[in-house]
Amino acid sequence: MSPLGAAKQAVRDLDRGLPSGADTSLSATWVPLVVFEPGVPPTLAALVPNYSKLAPYGNPAAVVLVGANFATSYGDLLCEIAALWAQQPAQRFGPPIFYNGSAIQCLVPPPPRDGSTGDVSLRASSDGGVSWSAPLNFTW
């Protein structure tokens, strides 16, 4: 399955088994459940898309991270993008949009104002940054 297909499937998993227009609020008949392994960082399989056009006016780019072991973690879900140059710090940002245990959406900040572009690494954490997934390449 292509990375785009995997991202679409991960998002569709949210609605699996729910009739059209179903009430997804907590009730005796429907409760959202995410099973994950605490203490184990998420794993990343794909970034969709894995690049960003230069966004107008410095707007962030929406990127879906597809993988495993994502958890809402009471606000501890984070994304981090490495700096283009070694002397710059990495940028942590969040909270991402949590879709399910295999997909989150991060709003990646725009590249530096000096117009620099290139490959950087993007990774995720479910425990407030204590442990991180292995990074995947993202192109600005």
pLDDT tens-place string over residues 4-25: 565 555 555 544 544 445 555 5
Closest CA to 48 of 34, 35, 67, 68: 67
CATH number attached to the domain at 45-140: 2.60.40.10
Q: What is the pLDDT, as a whole number, of residue 120? A: 87
pLDDT digit string (tens) for 36-59? 788 889 999 999 988 887 655 667
Asked if residues 97 and 110 have their Cβ atoms less than 8 Å apart, the reply is no
Ordered by start, the domain boundaries in the chain are 45-140
Structure tokens at 26: 């907590």
Per-residue pLDDT reduced to its tens digit, 96-133: 888 888 899 998 887 777 767 788 899 999 888 899 99
More confident residue, 64 or 38: 64
